[in-house]
A and B are shown apart, each in its own frame.
With several copies, the nearest count.
Chain A
Amino acid sequence: MDAVLDGGFVVRWLTAAAGLVEREAERLTELDSAIGDADHGANMQRGFAAVVKTVDTRPPGTPGAVLIAAGRQLISTVGGASGPLYGTLLRRAGKSLGEAPQVTVGELQTALRAGVKSVQELGGSAPGDKTMLDALVPGVEALATSFEAAAGAAEQGARDTVPMLARKGRASYLGERSIGHQDPGATSSALLFAALAEAAR
């Protein structure tokens, strides 16, 4: 776990994420139409398309700077619940990385952990509430093993939301009826970790 990551890596990560989101947008919307308002696919698409544009047109920066810019862009573009939450995740992680031109995977993990904590605070939510956190938390923890392990853990975390009762966000209005559906935000979080693994390959 001593690979060293630069700003270019983060750009590749976010670009891969945009690709996955584009590919899976319809599925995200489908999931959101079961327990939400059918816009998660469009929200993520709009956001990550803008992120790619931002990081592509800016001079290449440090990993922290790239993440902060991406987070800001999400906040300014997405709207909905996922915009501020994902935006905060990346922005806070970026801030935590500071100005180092290169960071280790361990440092990235620490940064993302800080980001996830901010998501919890902002959303007033916790793992088990059937939200993006249920994929983010296991994903970040499994980074200690490998990028691939993180992708797998996030994916499993997303799947694990199926039997959960939603307590936060729009899906919470469903009460018992939210059970049996996979959370769209957890699903898109799993895509972020899949993109991370892709960028690292």
Chain B
Amino acid sequence: MLINVPETVVADALRGMAAAHPELVVDVENRVVVRRDAPVAGKVALLSGGGSGHEPLHGGFVGPGMLDAACPGEVFTSPVPDQMVRAAAAVDSGRGVLFVVKNYTGDVLNFRMAAELAEDEGVQVATVLVDDDVAVTDSTFTAGRRGTGATLFVEKIAGAAAEEGMPLERVEALARQVVAGSRSFGVALSACSTPAKGGPTFELPDGQLELGVGIHGEPGRERRGMMTSREIAEVALEAVLEDLPPRLPVLVLVNGAGATPLLELYGFAAEVHRVLDERRVPVARTLVGNYVTSLDMAGCSVTLCQADEELLRLWDAPVQTAGLRWGR
């Protein structure tokens, strides 16, 4: 691994972010990344965070049109409430803060504690849980569906809404609409290695796939022998569309897990489009790249988000972050 020692991986990365992105305020000691012009007067603030190892999520999505602040935890470990409390204080303009939280027990608990503490300090907080991963069925007997690729859609669309000056309730409602309309499915072609472990966190023999893998290498639905890109697209979309048949044009995220070459990812995007065409699912926009990664895992995921006119407009709105940029 390209590291110094496992203990400083997150701090080292934050120093690098600070060096490369003068448009961000990076508090390395307290692990908070904030857009330089925060708090933005009159604007609802968006705050997210989670375990590190999914970059550019979340720090790479801080900036105009998306997040106001991000709180990175240790690798694959949710951040602690102190980070979110500090970040919320830094970005709140008085119009409230929306916490965007991926549905993992650790994130849920730490953000919940942070929300209580921040509210004690007079910050108005709303929280939206992202739970798009259809590989894990939503049931009262589990921690519920995991949050994965839809996080990007939520952060982008709610971020644009906040940028337009919408009030907290409206920004929150839009974020919930995105969550309700989004589903994901991921596949691992190799395990990922965490610095702390120094090796793969799970065993995946060469030539085997984990269908429905989570972004921390959590197990999925089943293991299979190698499949073609085409077959993987079919299985992933079958799972996604079965869970939520779309009635609107979709935003498509073809996401790389980290170690899958962009060349292969674009090839996979072609198959995703082919399957969607065959099933007569209209595609409004497609984003291809490594956005919600799992360190050095090889693999991919597909997220579909049903987008009405308003969501589409907010998706197309300008965004200026390290990891996602378009418009003016």
Contact = CB atoms under 8 A, between A and B. Distances in A.
A75 B113 contact: yes
Contacts of A169: 105, 143
Interface in B73-89: 73-82
A37 B113 contact: no
Interface string A23-42: 00000010001001111011
A37 B217 contact: yes
Contacts of A29: 196-197
B109 A85 contact: yes
Grouping DSSP codes into helix (H, G, I), strand (E, B) and loop, the B interface class, with mixed when no group exceeds half, is loop
A38 B196 contact: yes
Contact of B214 (A80, A168, A173): A173
Given A78-B80, A79-B73, A33 B196 contact: no
Interface residues of B, number: 34
Interface of A: 29, 33, 36-39, 41-43, 46, 75-85, 122-123, 167-170, 172-175, 177
B216 interface: yes
Contacts of A42: 74, 77, 196
B286 interface: no
B136 interface: yes
Contacts of A80: 51, 73, 77-78, 106, 110
Nearest to A77: B80
Contact of B143 (A41, A46, A170): A170
A176 B78 CA distance: 25
A188 to B, nearest CB: 14
B177 interface: no
A93 B79 CA distance: 24
Contacts of A39: 74-77, 194, 196
Contacts of A84: 81, 106, 109-110, 112-113
